[in-house]
Amino acid sequence: MNRNLSLHASASDKALWQQTLSGDKTAFGQLYVRFYPALKRYALRLTNDAELVEDTIQDLFLTIWQSRQTLNAKAPAGYYLANALRHSIVRRLNKQQMSSEVTHEMHPMCPSSEEDYVNVEEEQLQVALIERALRTLPRRQQQMVQLYFFEAKTYSEIRQIMQISPQSVYNVLFRSLKALRADYRIRISTKR
């Protein structure tokens, strides 16, 4: 998997996105090739079900092609794709959960997936809390956390992308994590 792929929008990504939304099939294929590895890495952090991830990414791109005329050409492609993928995965997991509950009602001897449902709910709550905590960070810190944790960039790669010293990368990430932990603890304690 190419670690240089990211969900951050470059000028060429914007052009691919706009060309795709204009109906250019070649650009659509390039968009898929460009973002597929990063989307797969991201999705596998949400669920360990590799088959579900593959199917959801395929369906996402199919939906994009089918509804391309109604999508926002100015939206950053990577963030749009990541958000749409996350929502699609959550919907599929919820649908699987409901299907499993129906099966359990029809066949009481089947093991319940209540625990799975609770785990998905807890994971969704955790993700929501983390997203809220991330939004409290300054934009630069948000970008660095995104690069390091969600795109698996190394310190060296972050330094090059953001054009800062290695020590600055360490310092900013440390401050970001410290702020996130504090904010997250506050949010967790108020949820209970």
Tokens standing for 190?
Answer: 């108020």
d(Cα 18, Cα 16) in Å, to the nearest integer? 6
pLDDT tops 50 at residue 120: yes
DSSP for 58-125? HHHHHHHHHTGGGS-TTS-HHHHHHHHHHHHHHHHHHHHHHHHHHHHHH-TTSPP-HHHHHHHHHHHH
Is the model more confident about 152 or about 6?
152
pLDDT, mean of residues 178-190: 73
Distance between CA atoms of residues 71 and 164, nearest Å: 35
Tell me which of 86 and 108 has the higher pLDDT. 86
Mean pLDDT in residue range 139-158: 81
Whether 18 and 73 have beta carbons less than 8 Å apart is answered as yes
Per-residue pLDDT, 110: 47
Burial (CB count within 10 angstroms: exposed 0-12, middle 13-18, buried 19+), residue 101 = middle
The whole-number pLDDT of residue 2 equals 36
Q: What are phi and psi of 101, to 5 degrees?
A: -65, -40
Q: Do 110 and 104 form a contact (C-beta atoms < 8 A)?
A: yes
Domains and CATH numbers, the chain: 1-112 (1.10.1740.10), 132-192 (1.10.10.10)
pLDDT confidence of 111, banded at 50, 70, 90?
Answer: very low
Alpha-carbon separation of residue 105 from 67, 109, 110, 120, 121 (angstroms) = 37, 9, 9, 20, 21
Residue recorded with tokens 């401050």? 175
Question: What local confidence, expressed as pLDDT, does residue 100 receive?
Answer: 53
In the block, residue with structure tokens 């795109």: 151
Per-residue pLDDT tens over the stretch 11-29: 788 899 999 999 999 999 9
**189 vs 100: which has the higher pLDDT:** 189
Query: Is pLDDT of 4 > 50?
Result: no
Q: How confident is the prediction for the chain on average, in pLDDT?
A: 79
pLDDT in tens, 44-65: 988 889 999 999 999 999 999 9
Give 105's pLDDT tier (boundaries 50, 70, 90).
Answer: low
- 71 touches 36 (CB < 8 A): no
Whether the predicted model's global pTM rises above the 0.85 cut: no
